[in-house]
């Protein structure tokens, strides 16, 4: 109802607020995408263990003098002892500053996202710009962001040797656990997807007059497979599985691959936990990731062809074209990443491959969103 003194009704306030909320949500999407990309750089540069403590406030400020840098370096040598002794025994302080920067920047970006999100949120809430539906969705966004932060620390903690028992464990850990890494990644991916869908609700509240339930169900299956593929990509990066067979289109040594995949001596759960010193887990992960890539190519081509033959709105046709274009780019990035794989994925190609994967995921969600019908 309208207030007697001339204040806006809730509906009017929400309509006025839409022009502010949509760009704010899009900024949030860019920040989340940036955070995931920075996380990819942190992973590929093995920077994740450079900060051995989780200090929410004090950790905002990096070391400011030589004494503080040396103390932080010593904490790294002790907390990430396996990584330092096995991979970086000759690391200098200046080299340590490089890996420290990426982990610190990853955490600093996350803190900045919190401020950029929460201050406008409080302001918009006071102006009654949000509908109840959007308030509930933004509550889920905040919950996902907090969960991602917690999972991020649990991931880092998996690579830190806090006790003598962890140092003497049979499990070699020179970096964070790849399995905790993908848990962190799945929450981050869910945050990106959920925030993107919320943005689309605000930006395009109307539903199209379409009747394509089967195609929409197929697109949901495609989206599910895309998420699985993103997680497999995280496993490839986390276990460095690309180093096993850095060749395309075929695995150069087929006999060697078969032995790795079906080696009875290595087909053991413990070996999949202790994946750093065994090739079988890496072989299975790489084959799964590359195999699912071909499945996704076929699925996107099927969806593209189905929609191309229909008389669909311009927005949906544009989304369909975006999807097929991004698929081609992503596939080529995957090829160039694997053939340039040495001891690790090439940094620029690896980061671009992850970034485009998320944008492709967003394009698939966009197509699915536009396929909504007024009756479902």
Residues 156 and 218 in one domain: no
Picking from 175, 205, 235, the residue at the C-terminal end of a domain is 205
Paired with 216 in beta bridges are none
- Divide the 376 residues of the chain into consecutive groups of 10 and give the mean pLDDT of each group: 50 69 93 95 92 80 93 92 90 95 94 89 87 91 94 90 66 84 95 96 82 93 97 92 84 70 66 79 90 96 94 92 96 94 88 96 96 66
pLDDT of residue 54: 82
Residues 26 and 140 in one domain: yes
Residues 148 and 166 in one domain: yes
Each residue's pLDDT tens digit, 158-196: 888 776 656 666 677 788 999 999 999 999 999 999 999
Residues 102 and 244 in one domain: no
pLDDT of residue 267: 62
pLDDT of residue 2: 43
Q: Please count the structural domains in the chain.
A: 2
Residues 60 and 148 in one domain: yes
Picking from 167, 183, 205, the residue at the C-terminal end of a domain is 205
Residues 252 and 191 in one domain: no
pLDDT of residue 266: 57
Residues 213 and 240 in one domain: yes
pLDDT of residue 4: 41
Picking from 205, 236, 253, the residue at the C-terminal end of a domain is 205
Residues 176 and 47 in one domain: yes
Residues 217 and 306 in one domain: yes
Residues 305 and 372 in one domain: yes
Residues 59 and 162 in one domain: yes
User: Within 13 Å, how many C-alpha atoms sit on residue 293's CB side?
Assistant: 22
Rg of the chain over CA atoms, in angstroms? 23
Domain span at residue 303? 209-376
Residues 189 and 287 in one domain: no
């Amino acid at each position: 109802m309208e207030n007697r003194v001339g204040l806006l009704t809730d509906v009017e306030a929400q309509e006025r607020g839409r022009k502010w909320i949509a760009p704010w949500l899009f900024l949030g999407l860019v920040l989340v995408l940036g955070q995931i990309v920075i996380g990819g750089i942190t992973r590929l540069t093995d920077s994740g263990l450079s900060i051995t403590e989780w200090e929410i406030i004090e950790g905002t400020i990096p070391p400011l003098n030589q004494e503080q840098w040396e103390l932080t370096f010593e904490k790294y040598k002790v907390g990430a002892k396996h990584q330092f002794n096995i991979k970086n025994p000759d690391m200098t302080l200046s080299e340590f500053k490089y890996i420290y920067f990426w982990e610190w920047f990853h955490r600093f970006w996350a803190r900045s996202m919190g401020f950029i999100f929460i201050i406008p949120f409080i302001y918009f809430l006071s102006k009654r710009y949000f509908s109840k539906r959007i308030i509930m969705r933004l509550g889920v966004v905040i919950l996902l962001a907090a969960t991602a932060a917690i999972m991020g620390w649990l991931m880092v903690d998996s690579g830190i040797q806090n006790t003598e028992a962890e140092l003497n464990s049979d499990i070699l850990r020179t970096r964070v656990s790849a399995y905790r890494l993908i848990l962190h990644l799945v929450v981050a991916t869910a945050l990106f997807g959920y925030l993107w869908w919320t943005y689309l609700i605000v930006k395009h509240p109307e539903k199209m007059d379409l009747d394509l339930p089967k195609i929409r169900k197929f697109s949901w299956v495609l989206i599910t497979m895309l998420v699985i593929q993103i997680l497999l990509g995280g496993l490839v990066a986390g276990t460095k599985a690309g180093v096993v067979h850095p060749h395309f289109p075929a695995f150069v040594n087929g006999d060697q691959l078969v032995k790795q995949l079906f080696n009875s001596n290595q087909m053991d759960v413990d070996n999949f936990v202790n994946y750093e010193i065994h090739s079988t887990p890496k072989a299975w992960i790489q084959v799964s990731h590359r195999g699912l890539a071909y499945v996704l190519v076929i699925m996107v081509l099927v969806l593209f062809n189905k929609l191309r033959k229909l008389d669909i709105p311009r927005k949906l046709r544009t989304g369909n074209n975006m999807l097929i274009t991004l698929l081609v780019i992503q596939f080529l990035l995957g090829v160039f990443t694997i053939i340039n794989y040495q001891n690790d994925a090439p940094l620029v190609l690896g980061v671009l491959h992850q970034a485009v994967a998320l944008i492709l995921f967003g394009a698939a969600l966009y197509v699915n969103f536009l396929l909504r019908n007024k009756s479902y």
